[in-house]
Amino acid sequence: MATKTAKLSEKAKEVLEMLRNSDVELTLAEINEKVDGVNSSHLTALRNRGFVSAEKVEKEVATVTVRKVNSYSAVELQDQNQDQE
């Protein structure tokens, strides 16, 4: 019995065309710089159908992280003895 496979999305087709025209292998982040709105599901669909291959590679990448830091501001003192010269 044949299994029914969903059609590729327009975004997945766009990614496939871009990869076919590329001379180098690209990561998801690099693909996302060229095709807006790409996520891993587009590449998974292409890989599962045999249109692209995926290989684990080690790359040095710059990352932006969020962390807690102190933020300082001056406060108004009610006491008249605030001269700290």
CB burial of residue 20 (10 Å; 0-12, 13-18, 19+): exposed
Mean pLDDT confidence for 59-84: 79
Distances (CA, A) of 60 to 3, 7, 53, 63: 41, 35, 21, 10
| Whether 43 contacts 16, CB under 8 Å | no
Hey, where are the domains in the chain? 7-79
Distances (CA, A) of 4 to 1, 7, 9: 10, 9, 15
**pLDDT tens digits, one per residue of 18-50:** 999 999 999 998 999 999 999 999 999 999 999
Categorize the per-residue pLDDT at 60 as very low, low, confident or very high, splitting at 50, 70 and 90: confident
